[in-house]
Chains A and B, each alone.
Chain A
Amino acid sequence: MSTNSRLKTSKFIDETSRISFKFNNKTYYGFKGDTLASALLANDVHLVGRSFKYHRPRGIMTAGSEEPNAIVQINDGTAVTEPNVRATEVEIYEGLEASSQNCWPSVNFDIGGINNLLSPLLPAGFYYKTFMWPASFWEKYEYFIRKSAGLGKSPTQPDPDIYEHQYIHCDVLVIGAGISGIMAAKTAAKNGLKTLLVDEKPILGGNTIYKDNEDTSINNQTPSKWISDQINELEKLDNLEIKKRTSVAAYHGYNYLLARENLTDHLPIHERKNKIRQRLLKIRAKKVITSTGALERPLVFNNNDRPGILLASALKRYSDLFGVACGKKNVLFTNNDSAYETALSFINKGIKIEAIIDIRENPNSKLVKKIEENQIKIFKGYTVVDTSGYKRINKVSIMQLSKDGQKVVGNKIEIPCDCLGMSGGWTPAVHLFTQSGGKLSFREEDQVFIPKIYTSKQISLGSCNGDFSLDSIIKNIPGQLKQFFEINSTEFDNLDIESNEDLSKRNIWLLPSDKIFGKTKPFVDYQNDATAKDIKLALREGFRSIEHVKRYTTTGMGTDQGKLGNMHALGIIADTAGVKMGELGTTTFRPPYTPLTFGTIVGRNVGEYFDIFRKTPMHDWHEQNKAEFENVGQWKRAWYYPKNNENMHQAVQRESKAARDSAGILDASTLGKIDIQGTDASEFLNRVYTNAWSKLAIGKCRYGLMLNEDGMVYDDGVTTRLDENHYIMTTTTGGAANVLGKLEDYLQTEWPELDVYLTSVTDHYATASVCGPNSKKILQKIIPDLDLSDDNFPHMSFKNAKIDGVKCRIMRISFTGEHSYEINIPASYGKSLWEKCMEAGKEYNITPYGTETMHLLRAEKGFIIVGQDTDATLTPIDLQMDWIVSKKKYDFIGKRSLYRSDTIKEDRKQLVGLLTDDPNEVLEEGAQIVADANKKPIEMLGHVTSSYYSPNLNKSIALGVVRGGKKMLGQKLIIPMENKNINVTVSDPVFLDKENKRLNA
């Protein structure tokens, strides 16, 4: 393939290193330094995609991140494929494969193109109006809409690339390395400030780096020479870091910014191995300088979207930076002088210009005159009324504008062309500024929004601040920097600037055509195919808020967030509705400024690093013994231990039976443990638990229930008095951190007079709970010298002991209803303790059991699990646990709420037992409970909270909450399921050993 549009004049392209790449399966060649867009244009490829709604052929429009049309799929069919990539930002590398999106079967012949012919039927809000009614049809519509819509394909394989996050703290962050950013960064760094300069492009210097037309000079040098010298000096500064290919995505409050640094996307695939692809930079800057430049505006006229229509500034960038002439017969169309800069470049490089159409009636700057002197035909006071050419523009039709610019007059002139450059003036890139909370003001004279009120230590400099001419940038910036950095001088104070720039502009948001408006297609948002007609229709239908018009027409809702067209949309709304643009305001610019990959967002937090997980000291043993695990909070807890291909049910039945028949062992290390010390420890427990604690003897344990101030059960657990002023509290596994936080809150803010100290010791101890009729014998084998008689060591008491010389705490407490011991040992001995128990228990068939069996065993005893049987709407009274609420205590957390009018109602949901008529029928947890399944609508009384088949009772048992359940003992209720109704009887929630005989067995 010949690179037939390449000029031999660019110093930014390395013509010694040829690169081959594929676009839509065809091989092309470009050079190192090319973007995919510049390489395609060099190969005379303009048609790169189809538009979203009408599937109109579209080409490359810009040379930057604002590109709405040329979005492509990279490396389709591989694990690293990426959709919606802007061809203007992709640097080509050997082996790159790119393809068009949103077209089928090919970009040249696309079935969806029929939508273009149907476009009168697809007005604004079409989807809302047509497919949302009747609602039941949506599923049918959706299939077809999804098939024909959508941009690109997401990858189907896991992302093999490496990403990471990095925190950066700096004195000054400079965003954008155009001339303003270069001057700012250099001044900051030279004044001893730690400075970070970022730019989204691979080359620093913005537009100035290729500004070498002879009419402008800085200190008697061309701007390009001057700025490249500045960059050379800049790169040598010590306290300055430069990050290229780095795009700031978000600017949050307190100068906290997120940026994406692209590290390997420009490298050939084989050079990327084991390298970090992209980095999310989390930047906290003391001061921020935004110098993000400005985006050139398109012009809104009939058929302004054909391939071959580009921004005039993009044509200049392609010719001056990449050495690419986008057309052989170029026409420029403008409302200001910018297109003449492009014309000057073209003249210098010998690129042919057919004509310049300028809507201004009398442009007469020095630059315009200079172009005229070069025999270029300028149509002054003319506008383009139409274009033609399906896959590439081949003609523009122009007519003279009326004085008021509202209509066209005279004869139509047709000019053949293959490329049209348009310039509608410039829009300051204020996106990041507004994200930071900054407020804009509207400058009437040139119809731009510029920064006005800053909410953090930051300034906007240069064209993003509305300073569009080199002249004013050079003159204003030194003063702005001196004020911002509180310094007396900068090295740029006395620069010589020679410039003839003229900023006059004739602003017409929607240019008239000779055709009636309804027959035209003046695009405002290219990516979403929103035209000026759609906006006017939305206004006619009564939409007024710009945010509503935006959503109704989808203007500005594409992946480019309407960087090009938003201002025109506002202008057309303002003109049509007869309001001032300044009063209309802008739509909200939201992060990210340009799309981010999910990889960048998640960084290293993938796979096993997605979240922290905590392992008990016995974890390895559980793993070696084939335990299945469940997540409880961040803990991995042994769930059950299947033997010989058992399923969960079989394993749990076996474990449950063994625990009651002989001996079971549970890893209870995950329970929260809080060490409580201080002279007021007893008083503190009195205030946080519902029951009384002052009289608990040293060496005794007590179960406690903790409420919220609203009276609802918050947590539970056993607390042991180790000494006069020393307790150890256990909490639920999931509640540990919150309980500690809550207790600290009360101590620090409500009761600072109490002498109490709280320390989390959850991780300090490993806990093995040995239960069952043989648990005593097993413990005796492990600690022969400890007197385990009921007199010396009764239920709900504690002993200090030693196992092989290691101090441990043993509590005789039970969550299963069996005689049982909890052995707490310093965590590092946890696994050997466990193995010791297993060894000692061997003769009694000691059976390790997991959380599922634990849940079953406690349900047989009617013990609640906070968070399973409760859900922050149940009081202790609702749980039939009145016995634990002290009547004598004057106060405790939540006490007053227990007799609010709402909490004393008799028809509150209350915990009950449920027995199925068919003892083999096991209920589903979460199933609804009703009394009458025939009366419609069926009244829901409650739901099932816990349900198991009990191997010890040989029947199904369940707990549930039922409205007024306390008074329903013996009553029949119904559990309606999808295919049947299950009959149940309300029972006592304690199913096994209500007399607690087993505890002392």
Chain B
Amino acid sequence: MFVISCPYCGEREQSEFKAGGEAHIERPKQPTELSDDEWAEYLFMRKNIKGIQYERWNHAHGCRKWFNMVRDTSNDEIKAVYKMGEKPPSV
């Protein structure tokens, strides 16, 4: 079980958090302009990387804030956490 450093609250047990899938997938601003394939790309396609992955987490049983995390999925090492809207750090 990870120890996750919420950007707002600091270090907390993983059991306080909820994972929210791949990060930096922006909801299209004009969905009606998109073809079925383009919309499906947004809706369904996720990477599921072995290695460095950018992902969304929510401090569900804490401040309820969403934030982003960079995690190496091969050994669960958390490389960085950063607030929504912030630029992803390069690791």
Contacts and interface: CB of A to CB of B under 8 A. Distances in A.
Interface string B15-40: 00010100000111011101010011
Interface string B49-65: 00000001010100011
A890 B75 CA distance: 44
Given A455-B75, A749-B84, A896 B65 contact: no
Contacts of A748: 65-66, 84
Interface in A457-475: none
A633 B2 CA distance: 28
A896 B76 contact: no
Contact of B66 (A437, A744, A895): A744
Contact of A750 (B3, B27, B30, B75): B27
B1 interface: yes
A755 interface: no
Given A748-B84, A749-B66, A895 B31 contact: yes
Interface in A881-910: 890-891, 895-897, 900-901
Nearest to A902: B36
Nearest to A895: B31
B32 A891 contact: yes
Interface string A752-775: 100000000000000000000000
Given A455-B75, A745-B66, A252 B1 contact: yes
A744 B18 CA distance: 13
Nearest to B31: A896
A253 B76 contact: yes
Contact of A741 (B3, B56, B58): B58
Contact of A256 (B1, B18, B43): B1
B43 A710 contact: yes
B10 to A, nearest CB: 14
Contact of A254 (B1, B31, B43, B65): B1
B3 A254 contact: yes
Contacts of B58: 741, 744-745
Interface string A88-109: 0000000000000000000000
Contact of A709 (B2, B34, B43, B77): B43
Contacts of A254: 1-3, 76
A330 B24 CA distance: 71
A653 to B, nearest CB: 43
A294 B70 CA distance: 38
Contacts of B28: 896
A563 interface: no
Nearest to A750: B27
A896 B3 contact: no
B32 A895 contact: yes
A744 B84 CA distance: 13
B36 A901 contact: yes
Contacts of B3: 254, 256, 284
A896 B36 CA distance: 9
Nearest to A752: B85
Contacts of B2: 253-254
Contacts of B60: 741
Contacts of A897: 39, 43
Given A748-B66, A750-B27, A891-B31, A896 B39 contact: yes
Contacts of B40: 900
Contacts of A895: 31-32
Given A749-B66, A891-B32, A900 B39 contact: yes
Contacts of B13: 284
A187 B27 CA distance: 55
Contacts of A256: 1, 3
A131 B18 CA distance: 45
Interface string A236-275: 0000000000000000111010000000000000000000
B55 to A, nearest CB: 13
A380 to B, nearest CB: 48
A242 to B, nearest CB: 25
Interface in A33-72: none
A437 B72 CA distance: 14
Contacts of A901: 36
A749 B56 CA distance: 10
Contacts of A900: 36, 39-40
Contacts of A284: 3, 13
**In the complex, which of the residues A744, A748, A896 has the most CB atoms of chain B within 10 Å of its own CB atom?**
A896
A513 to B, nearest CB: 46
A683 to B, nearest CB: 15
A448 B26 CA distance: 52
B27 to A, nearest CB: 5
Contacts of A750: 26-27
Interface in A412-453: 437
B34 to A, nearest CB: 7
A890 B84 contact: no
A253 B30 CA distance: 42
**In the complex, which of the residues A254, A709, A900 has the most CB atoms of chain B within 10 Å of its own CB atom?**
A254
Given A254-B1, A744-B64, A891-B32, A752 B84 contact: yes
Nearest to A896: B31
A252 B14 CA distance: 12
A284 B31 CA distance: 46
Interface in A316-375: none
Contacts of A253: 1-2, 76
**In the complex, which of the residues B1, B3, B20 has the most CB atoms of chain A within 10 Å of its own CB atom?**
B1
B56 to A, nearest CB: 7
A437 B77 CA distance: 11
A267 to B, nearest CB: 33
A897 B32 CA distance: 9
Contacts of B20: 745
Contacts of A890: 32
A710 B75 CA distance: 33
A348 B2 CA distance: 52
Contacts of A745: 20, 58, 66
A437 B31 CA distance: 44
Contacts of A455: 75, 77
Contact of B32 (A741, A744, A896): A896
B58 to A, nearest CB: 7
Nearest to B26: A750
Nearest to A760: B64
A744 B66 CA distance: 9
Contacts of B27: 709, 750
A748 B65 CA distance: 8
Contacts of A744: 58, 64, 66
A745 B20 CA distance: 9
A897 B36 CA distance: 8
A97 to B, nearest CB: 39
Nearest to A748: B66
A297 to B, nearest CB: 31
A346 B84 CA distance: 70
Nearest to B23: A749
Contacts of B31: 891, 895-896
Contacts of B65: 748
A759 to B, nearest CB: 11
A728 B32 CA distance: 30
Interface in A714-746: 741, 744-745
A97 B76 CA distance: 47
B66 to A, nearest CB: 5
Nearest to B33: A896
B91 to A, nearest CB: 17
A74 B84 CA distance: 57
A744 B56 CA distance: 13
9 contacts: A254-B2, A256-B3, A741-B18, A745-B20, A749-B56, A749-B84, A752-B85, A891-B30, A895-B31
Given A256-B1, A437-B75, A749-B56, 8 more contacts: A254-B76, A744-B66, A748-B66, A896-B32, A896-B34, A896-B39, A897-B43, A900-B39
**List of 10 A-B pairs having minimum Cβ-Cβ separation, nearest first:** A896-B31, A256-B1, A748-B66, A750-B27, A254-B3, A253-B76, A896-B39, A254-B2, A749-B66, A900-B36
